[in-house]
């Protein structure tokens, strides 16, 4: 079960560990017994060590420059970062949205089957019930958030944004407003779940002894010739000329 806490400073680590410890205790009656981590300053400070001692938590530190000793942690970090990066690029979000998308990446991974728990989901293993999936939508999809109040008859009834997550403590959607950079949480949302970004179709062929990749939008170029009258090498050269003019 992965939990992500966005900290303003590393000294908030102790509070985050305490919050997580309370969450797993309330969810399934579990308690943290061992923490294996590196020797970062946030993990070796007196406040953190005293909390672990008072909570009967054993601390195990990895040797310096030896990430192999915490391989499971490093693997989970890499998986989480990879999912976050995919959501960021696929939804065409600004880089400042990495924290919001990392939260939803952990949310999705916790509700995905995992071999470590026998093909079940970490969420169901911890809470002994199936996760709620019927409200899932495509991250990055066009989302129209309906205004609950409007002043005039011709005012907009909604604004368009991008879905960036789900409410963690309520059945709502979190929508990124690209005009002001704010994230709005609402239940009254209409979605268009077509792919956020369309990839041009590519095909390859042998022309004059060399391999050429011609994009399908060649026919959109402003040319007096029909693309059917040109071989692929000529189309490729025409495309290069148009790109130079941009």
Query: Is the distance from CB of 148 to CB of 163 less than 8 angstroms?
Result: no
* Residue 1 belongs to some domain of the structure: no
Beta bridge partners of 203: 214
* Residue 218 belongs to some domain of the structure: yes
Query: Is the distance from CB of 204 to CB of 213 less than 8 angstroms?
Result: yes
Domain C-terminal end among 127, 160, 181 = 127
186-191: long-range contacts, CB 8 A cutoff, minimum separation 24: 186/145, 186/146, 188/145, 188/146, 188/148, 189/143, 189/144, 189/145, 189/146, 189/163, 190/143, 190/144, 190/146, 190/158, 191/137, 191/138, 191/141, 191/142, 191/143, 191/144, 191/163
152-174 pLDDT, tens digit each = 778 888 999 999 999 888 889 99
Confidence band (pLDDT; 50, 70, 90) for 206? very low
pLDDT at 24: 86
Confidence band (pLDDT; 50, 70, 90) for 210? very low
74-83 pLDDT, tens digit each = 999 999 999 9
Domain C-terminal end among 100, 127, 154 = 127
Does residue 225 surpass a pLDDT of 60?
Answer: no
150 shares a domain with 183: yes
* Residue 223 belongs to some domain of the structure: yes
pLDDT at 145: 93
120 shares a domain with 18: yes
* Residue 5 belongs to some domain of the structure: no
123 shares a domain with 51: yes
Kindly state the DSSP code that residue 44 receives in the 8-state scheme: H
Number of domains the chain is built from: 3
Range of the domain at 73: 10-127
Average per-residue pLDDT for the chain: 81
Does the reported pTM lie above 0.85? no
* Residue 237 host element (H or E): helix 232-245
Mean pLDDT of all residues in 200-225:
43
Mean pLDDT of all residues in 88-96:
93
Q: What is the CATH number for 54?
A: 3.30.420.10
Confidence band (pLDDT; 50, 70, 90) for 119? confident
* Residue 60 host element (H or E): strand 58-61
Mean pLDDT of all residues in 203-223:
42
pLDDT at 170: 83
153 shares a domain with 53: no
Confidence band (pLDDT; 50, 70, 90) for 52? very high
């Amino acid at each position: 079960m992965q939990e992500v806490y966005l900290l303003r400073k590393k000294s908030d680590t102790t509070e985050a560990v305490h919050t997580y410890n309370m969450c797993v205790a309330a969810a399934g009656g579990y308690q943290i017994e061992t923490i294996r981590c590196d020797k970062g300053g946030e993990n070796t400070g007196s406040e953190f060590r005293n909390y672990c001692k008072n909570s009967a938590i054993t601390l195990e530190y990895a040797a310096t420059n030896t990430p192999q000793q915490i391989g499971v942690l490093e693997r989970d970090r890499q998986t989480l970062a990879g999912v976050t990066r995919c959501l960021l690029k696929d939804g065409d979000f600004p880089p400042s949205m990495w924290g919001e998308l990392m939260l939803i990446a952990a949310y999705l991974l916790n509700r995905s089957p995992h071999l470590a728990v026998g093909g079940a989901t970490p969420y169901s293993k911890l809470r002994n019930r199936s996760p709620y999936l019927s409200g899932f939508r495509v991250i990055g999809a066009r989302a129209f958030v309906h205004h609950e109040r409007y002043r005039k008859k011709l005012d907009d009834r909604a604004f368009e944004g991008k879905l960036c997550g789900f409410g963690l403590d309520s059945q709502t959607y979190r929508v990124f407003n690209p005009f002001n950079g704010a994230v709005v949480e609402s239940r009254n949302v209409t979605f268009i779940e077509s792919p956020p970004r369309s990839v041009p179709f590519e095909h390859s062929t042998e022309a004059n002894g060399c391999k050429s990749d011609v994009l399908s939008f060649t026919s959109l170029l402003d040319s007096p010739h029909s693309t059917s009258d040109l071989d692929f090498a000529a189309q490729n050269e025409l495309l290069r000329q148009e790109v130079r003019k941009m």
